[in-house]
Structure 1
């Protein structure tokens, strides 16, 4: 694997590199040998982030959510400005240098990967060294795909979890192929829901106010709430809470983390308050939800 950036990692960012022993098992397993992740991360407002590689021995995707940066690539050292919604696609053996704008630092997802069919998956995206950047726009489902890959760090040394991540990587790449033809189709006058929902997805582990969401789409708080409710039938904060609870359900399903840890992971410091919100949304407590999923409680009563 190409060496990941040594950029100092702040609390709101994630860098996860798969254990070498697990990578070796994925290389040999029939369900993952064709495509598997090597490392994945999320860097939020990554001021000072920069990386240069003359030798690049795997494949790399970088998805910019906010801020801006620069990419220099290939033997001719061509340059591109990277903006929100841009996806950098760097095949194996492509020398490159990328860095964030110091005044407007980017927030990015990234994944290093490899596999016998990695070239074939990239060929479906129809990129080349003349244009290694896809302007997809901001898509909440694509953000969710990257977040699903980040769940691999919960797996420790369970092969089944990493096999699942390998197939989630397939889903991410084929999803990008679907998004490419419909990129940039939103009208300027309409509310960019994808941008709003993507911001929500990336901040599920935090609290997020309406002012921040409205600012992201250059609207006043009043007009933002009005447009959002007209389009969705609910308020932005209610939808944000719904996303948090969906994420909490996922963590209750796939991890052994305690209720307090799950609450913390979705931005609630008070586990009792989290449990009240969970019960209001789901009709049952987090502990009963987990018990039902494990077959220790019925769906009809305690």
Structure 2
């Protein structure tokens, strides 16, 4: 059973960090509009989910789908070393966007838990040493973690479920996935909302609303964000000019590009290599 389309599966990694908690602390109940994976690497902590508190020990894995309320409590005289990963832009077959098919936040997936823990430590090592292209390798490791979660749930069906979504929602998910895939691979080109709508056989208004409901931004804003993220990476090369990079990501007007970049990152493009 496959949950994904390898061609279009390209999750966005919002964050990945591994804090040490050595003093008593309490985090209020909250939820996210994205997927969060929390892995207990060492020690223990108390988590609230499913309307009760649970002791989470070393080697255990939590997956919080969007909207799932949870909280964390580090008790006195205990410690924990955890890995937290925030992920968006996930579209799995027959599932709501950014959801995994786990029935409960705490995973029970046998041998796959050990594989995930091994990958988690690899990710921590990458985050710690930050060698060349560590973010790219980190993303690859996170994708491996996701695949192992899905495999574990597939062989332990009692721990998984498929939230019902209508045929309309399935079509909308596919539309958003197709548009994101196109923008990720053609962001250097001149693209308009009307063009995207025409190529997907929908109206511009329908495309804009459907895309924004799924991603919290319009298709054109997603395009701008994609261009700027790629520009940020290119700007680390000191041998290229701002004008060259603006052109490389789809902007012929370097001044307009610089204004957009500063608005998004808070610094001008010329200051990137100074940070």
TM-score, normalised by the number of residues in structure 2: 0.42
TM-score, normalised by the number of residues in structure 1: 0.39
